[in-house]
Amino acid sequence: MQDKRKERIDRGVKVRSDTIYAISSMKEIMYLIGPRMGLVLFLLALPLVLPIYWQKVVSITAVYALLAVSFGFLSSYVGLVNLGGALFVGVGGYISGLLNSAYGLPLYISIPAATLLGALFCTLVLLPCLPLRGIYFAIVSFVYPLAAVRIISATGAFGGTDGIAGLDMIGSGYGSQYFIIVTLLLVTFGVSRLVSAEDIGLIFRGVKDNEQAIKASGLNLTMYKAVAVFIGALIGSFAGAWLAHLYGWVGMSLMATDFSILPLAATVVGGTSTIYGPLVGTLLLVPISEALRDFGTLRIVFYSVAMVFFVVFWTEGLLIYIKRKYEQFERWVRV
Amino acid sequence: MNNKIILRVENVSKSFGGIKAVSGVSFELNRGEIMGVIGPNGSGKTTLNNLITGFIKKDGGKVWFNGTDITNWPEHKIADAGLTRTFQVMRPYPTLPVYKNLIPPLYSARARRSVGGKQGDRKARAIDLLEEVGFERDAQVPYKLAGSLPLGYLKRLELCRCLALRPELIVCDEIFSGLSASEIASMLPLMEKLRDHGITLIMVEHRLRELFRIANKVIVLNFGEKIAEDEPKHIFSNEKVHQAYFGGEVTYVSEDNGLFASDQ
């Protein structure tokens, strides 16, 4: 064994920088866009081939996936590990629910309005924590939804523990399914383009890499962090508003810790430092957790075991592993 | 206010707990000059640097830049006014390619006033800037990840980040430290070129021989206090500077430039 070693060779097209490729044939174009096309076609085909029950699961998975994309954007590209996903969902859901039930606005107005107002509200309440970063931001942002739940149950505001029922429901037809899937795809591609090709995305990545250098560049650090949180909260609030009308009900369970933790788990499984990692992780975890519903609370055990497996044995995550296999081939060479 | 004076520092102080890092330092700096800040380790050079550029809060004192009181301005506003800095520990964005490291400063309001607001302009300007400080335009280096750059290039990139803002005054924190003699020799003309373009420089340095070749004046700090301010060639004839640097009388002064004397 000593005289052999594993050699890894790039099989990709020649890359000069992370967004500049030298493409010379159709084959190379397919090599680049093939995986992305595969993802799009896979998601678009799902409602057509699945039975009714699983179509509903796809819609909910898409909602979780939006949250995961929001988490991936904030943690991998801005350096704000946001465990307050439940706050985004809850605020988006409650605002949409109130607009719909108290003011009688139809859902095609209440959802966009809740998306905007919710993002604005979340950005404002998170503003005091923006000097923090990384794990410190995670701790503080985790507390927000927990505190919000206690405040609602203690004061009985917005229906208290009963929540607000009787909201307009989103139909379960192909229209609504494709709407959420296409939204998910647009958001995913939009965010990944933002951080790889747009100048403001580069500033976000600069904020993650080096806050001092951003300040020395004459840029207002807090403002750019706030803009990033606003973008993340837009996605999360939309997911919340959509979920509220999918269930026809808003309540404290919209601020459940699941919404904060699942994106993190999906990132561990899918792979860090990409937008697609959390997305792929969610597409795996949520259906699996749904399939294990018969086992009741025992599925938490399965979840934990899977998590430990990935953390200990497969740190790079699924997507990074697949990406490496796709871009490089290995062979044993004699030394 | 005299228009020749670009920076006036008056009585600035800073304590960390019981330690007076900088106490009562004052100086004036003329436009287009290179000023050296020297002193033994722990004498408060970097703290002074941080105080001027707003990276830490002052306990007392005032700073005027171009006749404007910038004492309590936040760091990004000071940078936007044209007073920018390099860091002693280099601060690139390691996960971005080298030329993209310059996009954030080029995106700032100050740079946009001179470069323009289009993305394409900024990329072209980034490559131009890198060439100005000695990166080869068509080589692979500007497209590599900044995290993989050797030290010499990182220092230039650090300087480049300042230049992207079209600054009037750059505070360089030990920009020569860790570089070999030949690398420093290639940096010196660059610093002189900046001065000839009308950029004022404050250089915090330990490499005295190289610094004194280009500096117009030098201030010496010891235990947070300014103990001398003079032209480089006279600075070591000051009694207090001897004490700070050599801890005693100097009995032998080498003839070539009067530096690095030792008490043999």
B96 interaction partners in chain A (CB closer than 8 Å): 202, 205-206, 209
| pLDDT score for B118 | 76
For residue B177, give both structure tokens.
């430290």
B165 touches chain A (CB under 8 A): yes
Q: With CB atoms and an 8 Å threshold, state whether B110 touches A205.
A: no
Q: Which amino acid is at A249?
A: W
Provide the ipTM: 0.83
The mean of the pLDDT values for chain A is 86
pLDDT band at A2 (very low <50, low <70, confident <90, very high): low
Q: Which of B76, B77, B170 to mutate to test the interface with A (most CBs of A within 10 A)?
A: B76
Tokens linked to A305: 């075991």
Distance from CA of B185 to the nearest CA of A (A): 26
**H, E, C per residue of A13-52:** CEEEECCEEECCCHHHHHHHHHHHHHHHHHHHHHHHHCCH
Question: pLDDT class for A17, splitting at 50, 70, 90?
Answer: low
Q: What is the 3-state secondary structure (H, E, C) of A171-222?
A: CCCHHHHHHHHHHHHHHHHHHHHHHHHCHHHHHHHHHHHCHHHHHHCCCCHH
Strand, helix or coil for residue A274: coil
Distance CA B54, CA B46 (A): 12
In this predicted structure, the answer to whether residue A16 has a pLDDT above a threshold of 60 is no
Amino acid identity of residue A97, one-letter, is: G
With vertex at residue A136, the alpha carbon angle to CA A279 and CA B102, rounded to the nearest 5 degrees, is: 70
Q: Do B161 and A200 touch (CB under 8 A)?
A: no
C-alpha span between A141 and A125 (Å, rounded): 10
Q: What is the sign, positive or negative, of the torsion defined by CA atoms of B159, B40, B183, B192? A: positive
Q: Is the dihedral of CA A31, A34, A35, A36 positive or negative?
A: positive
pLDDT in tens, A174-229: 888 888 899 999 999 999 888 888 888 999 999 988 888 898 888 999 999 999 99
The residue of chain B with its CA nearest to that of A222 is B76
pLDDT digits (tens, 9 = 90+) for A84-123: 899 999 999 999 999 998 888 888 889 999 999 999 999 9
**pLDDT by position in tens, chain B (length 264):** 457 888 998 888 888 888 888 888 889 898 888 999 988 888 888 899 999 998 888 888 889 898 888 888 998 999 988 899 998 888 888 888 888 888 888 888 888 887 777 777 888 888 888 888 887 766 778 888 888 888 888 888 888 989 888 899 999 988 888 888 888 888 888 888 888 888 999 999 888 888 888 888 999 888 888 888 888 888 777 777 777 777 765 555 555 555 554 443
| Paired residues of B220 in beta bridges | B38, B228
Alpha-helical (H) ranges within A198-298 are 199-209, 211-216, 221-247, 257-270, 276-291
Each residue's pLDDT tens digit, A278-323: 998 999 888 888 888 888 778 778 878 888 888 888 888 888 888 8
Q: How far apart are CA B187 and CA B180, in angstroms?
A: 11
Burial A71-110 (b: 16+ CB within 10 A, else e): bbbbbbbbbbbbbbbbbbbbbbbbbbbbbbbeeebebeeb
Residue positions counted in chain B: 264
> Best interface-test mutation with B: which of A77, A202, A212, A221 has the largest number of B CBs within 10 A?
A202
What is the pLDDT at residue B1?
47
Query: Cα–Cα distance between B126 and A274 in angstroms, integer?
Result: 26
Distance from CA of B45 to the nearest CA of A (A): 18
Residue B105, C-beta contacts closer than 8 angstroms, at least 6 positions apart:
A217, A218, A219, B111, B161, B162, B164, B165
**How many C-beta neighbours within 10 Å does residue B41 have?**
6
pLDDT for A322 equals 85
- pLDDT confidence bin for A68, thresholds 50/70/90: very high
- pLDDT score for A223: 92
Q: Is A184 within 8 Å of A208 (Cβ atoms)?
A: no
Q: Is B84 on the interface with A (CB under 8 A)?
A: yes
Share of chain A above pLDDT 90, in %: 30
Give the model's pLDDT for residue B262: 44
What is the C-alpha to C-alpha distance for residues B76 and A217, in angstroms, rounded to an integer?
7
- Specify the CATH number for B5-91+169-246; select among 3.40.50.300, 2.60.40.1120, 1.10.10.1100, 2.60.200.30: 3.40.50.300
Distance, in Å, from the CA atom of A135 to the CA atom of A83, rounded to the nearest integer, reads 9
Is the CB of B87 less than 8 angstroms away from the CB of A216? yes
Q: CA–CA separation, B99 vs A199, rounded Å?
A: 12
